[in-house]
Amino acid sequence: MTHYPIAIIGAGLGGLMLARVLHVNSFEAAVFDLDASPTARTQGGMLDIHVESGQAALRAAGLYDEFRDLVMPGGEATRVLDKHATVRLAADEDDRDDDRPEVHRRSLRDLLLGSLPEGTVRWGAKVVGATRLADGRHEVTLADGNSFTTDLLIGADGAWSKVRPLVSAAKPLYAGLSFVELSLEDADRRHPRAAELVGGGMMFALGDSKGMLGHRNPDGSLHVYAALLTDEGWSTSGEIDFADTDKAKAALVEHFADWHEDFHGIITEADGALVPRPIHALPVGHQWDRIPGVTLLGDAAHLMSPFAGEGANLALQDGAELALAIVANPARPEDALTQYEAALFPRSTTAANQSAQGLALCFNPQSPQGLLDFFAEMSER
């Protein structure tokens, strides 16, 4: 059976950052991902990369300057609207003294992928299970029937991690909120009013415990999530037939019936299919006892709703810090994992709390007042 000293499950931002920081320190790892290729799946939208987490990780990876070249100018602009399409806050990037440049997720992932030796990522390698062997190693089984052993197994395989059960019985729980993902291509020309609403960066349109959260991509398209507090099974309940895009648009507009008609246009003008995305989170404070030879990072460790804007940043930070701990303890991997987890648990608990609070702040009958108060408080600090 093939043996890998270090096996990383998942070629998301966290797993790739781990592999990269190991690589620049002359440690090689094998990365396994279920996707058939790096382009098999669309890679979402914009991420703001924070100084203390995502940017610090990119520095550790020796990729900071290349990352800066990918930043979208003006992407930090933020607008808060109410359901009447009244702009309640418009801040361009110069109004924000924090340094949170916006980069497209695909660009960032491509940067990390391109920084690894050819063949580091094994594509089309879906992990279906992992077990601990008597000698302390782990055996990992793939969907194609192959398996391999490893001394150090890292679950960087996202929300529905197949590695997590080795350390924890926790499962993601529905956060009470569902997104419907909408894309509008070539927005300034084809969807000018939607482009105006979103502005040059991010838009938070909130009201009646609902929302439209949008951002502009570097290619001029818009990415908007219509957000609703719903039951867990809502997206598959049949209330909206997502297989019939025209009917789905009409049904979704009904949820925003008393919102300004310009928001209806964002839905009716959307290009392509509407994609429902129920939001899940692991319990706040999720952690586990030290289990030899295995750990988790990123969403596998601390999946949270996106309302702290930390998930990708934490995944990058986890990957870099775990790599540096391994590098610092080459003969004592358990010390490396202990050191890594000692920092991981408190920081992910803080972010998960912020995330849960952010969701409550945005989705309540008084919204968008809570978010406006939050931004006002931030700018006073």
**Of residues 10, 75, 214, 368, which one binds ligand FAD by CB under 6 A?**
10
Interface residues for ligand FAD in 295-334 (CB under 6 A)?
A: 298-300, 306, 309-313, 315
As measured in angstroms, the least distance from the Cβ of 199 to ligand FAD is: 16
User: Which helix or strand (DSSP H or E) is residue 256 part of?
Assistant: none
Measure CA 67 to chain center.
17
Backbone angles phi and psi of 345, in degrees to 5: -65, -50
358 binds ligand FAD (CB under 6 A): no
**β pairing state of 210-216 and 294-296:** unpaired
Three-class DSSP category at 364: coil
Looking at residues 242 to 301 of the shown chain, list those that interact with ligand FAD (rule: CB under 6 A): 277, 298-300
CB of 201 vs ligand FAD, minimal distance in Å: 12
Tell me how many residues contact ligand FAD (CB under 6 A): 30
d(CA 368, CA 37): 41
Cβ 154 vs Cβ 8: under 8 Å: yes
Residue 13 as a binder of ligand FAD (CB under 6 A): the answer is yes
Residue type, 364: N
Smallest gap from Cβ 140 to ligand FAD, in A, equals: 9
15 scored as a contact of ligand FAD (CB under 6 A)? yes
Q: Toward ligand FAD, which CB reaches closer, 170 or 250? A: 170
The reply to whether 155 sits near ligand FAD by the rule CB under 6 A is no
x/- contact string, 36-65, with ligand FAD (CB under 6 A)?
Answer: -----------x------------------
For 305, how many CA atoms within 13 A lie in the half-sphere containing its CB?
27
| Two structure tokens written together for 49 | 């990369």
Three-state secondary-structure class, residue 239? coil
| 198 near ligand FAD, judged by CB under 6 A | no
Considering only the stretches 92-100, 156-164, 243-251, 373-381, report the one whose residues sit in contact with ligand FAD under the rule CB under 6 A. 156-164
**Residues 89/78, Cβ–Cβ less than 8 Å:** yes
Q: Which is nearer to ligand FAD, 129 or 285 (CB)?
A: 129
For residues 319 and 14, the answer to whether their CB atoms sit within 8 Å is yes
2 strand-pairing partners? 148
Which residues contact ligand FAD by CB under 6 A?
Answer: 9-15, 32-35, 47, 126-127, 156-158, 162, 179, 277, 298-300, 306, 309-313, 315
